[in-house]
Amino acid sequence: MELPGGIDITPIPSDVEEALRLSHLRIQAFQDRWDQPQIEQFVASDYELVFRVLRWIVQQRLMTGNRMLEWGCGFGVVAALGSILGLDVTGIEAEKRLLREAETTMKDFGVPVELVWGNFLPAGSESLSQNPDFPSIGHRVPCAYQQIGSDLDDFSLVFGYPWPGEWAFHEAVFTRHGAVGGLLVLFCGPNDVRVWRKVAND
């Protein structure tokens, strides 16, 4: 799906800007700590750009419903942004330390988001990968969907930040398990947010 030109320079509300500024400071402080092991798989995305893309999706009414899921939510900033935009958001995270940080993020933003510990991959998704060493496959934690009480195809929008080389795997998982008409939004690197819609013949 093609994004509109200039979306990366559209204004962001001042209260959202301030909340993101504080989130960046918390993330930097978390990553600078020497008294705890680093979580190598946690890398912050460009939250400002992601907010602009999500806002455009909401404004254009491109979603078939109101439920959003964040795969590997980390600090939960993208999940919080979705909630600010009026979406019913769930975030899945395999690292309990990050999940605790995400709980703080929701308090800072003042938004309701369901945060769930577990694996964001639906059962059996590993078979869709041609590389068994992808970081997304390495989480030895329970599948989160039973705890949520929903399947992947119950969500109208799924957001993820795949590691380099993983985006096609994430797209394959969404194509197999996502909702027809649903949107997959991936942050793939600097100035690179991609949006796919699943169609009936996928």
Report residue 38's pLDDT band, with 50, 70 and 90 as the boundaries.
low
Report residue 12's pLDDT band, with 50, 70 and 90 as the boundaries.
very high
Q: What is the pTM of this model?
A: 0.91
What pLDDT, on a 0 to 100 scale, did the predictor assign at position 131? 57
Strand partners, 71: 92
52-94 pLDDT per residue, tens? 999 999 999 999 999 999 999 999 999 999 999 999 999 999 9
Report residue 163's pLDDT band, with 50, 70 and 90 as the boundaries.
confident
The alpha carbon of residue 162 and the mean position of all alpha carbons in its chain are separated, in whole angstroms, by 9
pLDDT averaged over the chain?
Answer: 90
What pLDDT, on a 0 to 100 scale, did the predictor assign at position 200? 83
Nearest to 71 by CA among 168, 171, 160, 198: 160
Query: What contacts 145, CB < 8 A, 6 or more positions away?
Result: 118, 122, 123, 151, 152
The residue type of 162 is P
The rounded distance, in Å, linking the Cα atoms of 183 and 180 is: 9
What pLDDT, on a 0 to 100 scale, did the predictor assign at position 178? 96
Which domains, and CATH codes, for the chain? Answer: 13-197 (3.40.50.150)
Q: Is the pLDDT of residue 42 over 70?
A: no
3-state helix, strand, coil in the chain (%, to 5): 40, 15, 40
Report residue 189's pLDDT band, with 50, 70 and 90 as the boundaries.
confident
176 HSE (CA, 13 A, CB side): 15
What pLDDT, on a 0 to 100 scale, did the predictor assign at position 123? 83
What pLDDT, on a 0 to 100 scale, did the predictor assign at position 169? 87
Report residue 45's pLDDT band, with 50, 70 and 90 as the boundaries.
confident
116-143 pLDDT per residue, tens? 999 999 987 776 766 556 556 656 788 9
- For 125-158, b/e burial (b = at least 16 CB within 10 A) is bbebbeeeebebbebeeebbbeebeeebbbbbbb
Question: How would DSSP label each residue in 52-120?
Answer: HHHHHHHHTT--SSSEEEEES-TT-HHHHHHHHTT-EEEEEES-HHHHHHHHHHHHHHT---EEEESB-
Query: What contacts 120, CB < 8 A, 6 or more positions away?
Result: 69, 71, 72, 92, 94, 136, 144, 160
